[in-house]
Amino acid sequence: MILAIETSCDETAAAVYDTKAQRIISHHLFSQIDMQRIYGGVVPEIASRSHLEKIQSIVAHTLQQAGIESNELTAVAVTSKPGLAGALLVGFSFAKAIAWTHNIPFIPVNHLDGHVFSSHLEDDGSFRQLLYPHLTLTASGGHTSLYRVTGFGQHEEIGHTLDDAAGEAFDKTARLIGFVYPGGPKIEKLATENNFADVFKYPRNKTKPGKYTFSFSGLKTAILYDLAKRGYIDLATSKPTEKLTAQVQKNVASSLLVCVGDIFEKMLVRVFKEQPDLQGFAFVGGVACNEYLRKRLAAACKKRTKFFAASPKKFSTDNGAMIALVGSYLLKTGQVGTMESDIFE
Ligand code: KG4
Ligand code: ZN
């Protein structure tokens, strides 16, 4: 039984993975979104304090739900970099204390590896075997990266964003047109209501040959200037004008979503073409909650007879289950940490 703890950003999460049954048997989280919303983003100091307040009860609840006592644990996994230092430290110290008390392995797990292998989780928490090699796109509020995955626990980053993450394009654009963090779900809702109309035809970033890179900061700036040109935003304050009606908000949302869909699909098609041995594609991270993007990417895979997998929605945004799953791999392969391990190792 592996206990995993995740506190890299604004979610205090824990999960228990049963190594014999190969499944998550309990998972629980507290999201700070409502608390952080008023600041328009995540304030690191508030995040750390909230983790401190919640971690004890989240872990206790997760163990209780699993029906086990802490002395039945065989290892403790915890998120290491990347993340907010103060937030990571809370989970790290708590996990170390449990590992030290019970004299069991302490396993730091890279947060991004957690996202990459969340594709191997079924909705009910059981392990899902995928074909290899395959391509994985991690798209979240902090990261947008492409990986060539050659086995469970084995991967190589083959591309990433040069600036903003895809989730940031949703969050920042939503903010620009008057919505609070997180912007992704709101953009999806408005875009759906607008029937995914590409009204403004925002610029698709040009991919450079030989490199699998994304860029989303240019898109965000292009949207700002386009809105200003049309009189919907006051450029001096970046605040909406009275001309920014509900219909304009919908037009922005659907144009943005279709644009991101085009960017992702184009990249997927290109990588499949250049790496024909890829068996399929996995879509993970918070942005993978988006139904429109899932459907488009799934259709692109089907057309090329490649498999499509997405992390279950509850395991797409930050969660303890993905950390537990990777922790199980690291434990099995002897890649464990020590009491001297650091969050940024
Ligand atoms: O993985 P995650 O919880 O946190 C990071 O590690 O960053 O991802 C959060 C990101 C936010 O940018 C949020 O706007 C985006 O995921 N997101 C979505 C949707 N739900 C969450 N983006 C597009 N469509 C969604 N339905
Ligand atoms: Zn994350």
Task: Tell me phi and psi for residue 81, to 5 degrees.
Answer: -55, 165
Whether the Cβ atoms of residue 36 and residue 47 lie closer than 8 Å to each other: yes
Q: Residue 272 C-alpha to ligand 1 middle, in angstroms?
A: 25
Structure tokens at 118: 């969340």
Q: Residue 69 C-alpha to ligand 2 middle, in angstroms?
A: 28
**How far is the C-alpha of 91 from the C-alpha of 69, rounded, in Å?**
19
Query: Closest Cα to atom 3, ligand 1: which residue?
Result: 317
Angle, CA of 42, 47 and 50, to the nearest 5°: 140
**How far is the C-alpha of 216 from the C-alpha of 168, rounded, in Å?**
8
- In this prediction, residue 38 carries a pLDDT of 76
> What dihedral do alpha carbons 255, 302, 326, 108 form, nearest 10°?
-30
Whether the Cβ atoms of residue 95 and residue 5 lie closer than 8 Å to each other: yes
Q: Residue 106 C-alpha to ligand 1 middle, in angstroms?
A: 29
Q: Which of 101-105, 231-235, 306-310 has the lowest mean pLDDT?
A: 231-235
- In this prediction, residue 205 carries a pLDDT of 72
Q: Residue 230 C-alpha to ligand 1 middle, in angstroms?
A: 28
At residue 207, does pLDDT exceed 90?
no
At residue 156, does pLDDT exceed 80?
yes
CA distances from 307 to 1, 134, 211, 256, 334 (A): 31, 9, 24, 26, 31
**How far is the C-alpha of 284 from the C-alpha of 139, rounded, in Å?**
6
**How far is the C-alpha of 248 from the C-alpha of 260, rounded, in Å?**
18
Q: Residue 68 C-alpha to ligand 1 middle, in angstroms?
A: 32
Q: Residue 67 C-alpha to ligand 1 middle, in angstroms?
A: 31
Mean pLDDT, residues 212-233: 94
Query: Closest Cα to atom 10, ligand 1: which residue?
Result: 141
Among 140, 177, 254, 258, residue to substitute to test ligand 1 (most atoms within 8 Å of Cβ)? 140
**Largest Cα span, the chain:** 64
Q: Residue 277 C-alpha to ligand 1 middle, in angstroms?
A: 30
Question: In this predicted model, what pLDDT tens digit does every residue of 46-65 receive, in sequence order?
Answer: 999 999 999 999 999 999 99
Helix or strand run (H / E) with residue 102: helix 85-102
Binding-site residues, ligand 1, Cβ < 6 A = 9, 140-142, 167, 170-171, 182-185, 188, 285-287, 289-290, 317-318
- In this prediction, residue 181 carries a pLDDT of 84
Q: What is the β-pairing status of strands 134-139 and 280-284?
A: parallel
For the chain, percent of residues with pLDDT exceeding 70:
99
Whether the Cβ atoms of residue 40 and residue 10 lie closer than 8 Å to each other: no
- In this prediction, residue 42 carries a pLDDT of 82
Q: Which amino acid is at 316?
A: S
Sign of the C-alpha dihedral computed for residues 309, 312, 317 and 321 taken in this order: negative
Task: Tell me phi and psi for residue 104, to 5 degrees.
Answer: -120, 160
Q: Residue 4 C-alpha to ligand 1 middle, in angstroms?
A: 21
Query: Closest Cα to atom 19, ligand 1: which residue?
Result: 184
- Work out which ligand 1 atom sits closest to the CA atom of 170: 14
Strand-by-strand arrangement of the 154-161 sheet: 212-214, 154-161, 144-151, 134-139, 280-284, 307-310
Task: Tell me phi and psi for residue 13, to 5 degrees.
Answer: -130, 150
- In this prediction, residue 133 carries a pLDDT of 98
- The beta-strand segments (E) located in the chain are 2-6, 11-18, 23-31, 75-80, 106-110, 134-139, 144-151, 154-161, 212-214, 233-234, 239-240, 280-284, 307-310
How confident is residue 339, by pLDDT bands cut at 50, 70 and 90? very high
For the chain, percent of residues with pLDDT exceeding 90:
89
- Rounded to two decimals, what is the model's pTM? 0.95
Query: Closest Cα to atom 13, ligand 1: which residue?
Result: 184
Question: In this predicted model, what pLDDT tens digit does every residue of 2-25 receive, in sequence order?
Answer: 999 999 998 999 999 999 999 999
Closest CA to 164 of 217, 212, 107, 111: 217
The per-residue pLDDT of the chain, averaged, comes to: 95
- In this prediction, residue 223 carries a pLDDT of 96
At residue 86, does pLDDT exceed 90?
yes
Whether the Cβ atoms of residue 260 and residue 184 lie closer than 8 Å to each other: no
Among 254, 289, 322, residue to substitute to test ligand 1 (most atoms within 8 Å of Cβ)? 289
Query: Closest Cα to atom 16, ligand 1: which residue?
Result: 286
Q: What is the DSSP string of 27-42?
A: EEEEE-HHHHHTTTS-
**How far is the C-alpha of 154 from the C-alpha of 137, rounded, in Å?**
15
Mean pLDDT, residues 255-265: 98
Query: Closest Cα to atom 8, ligand 1: which residue?
Result: 286
- Work out which ligand 1 atom sits closest to the CA atom of 8: 6
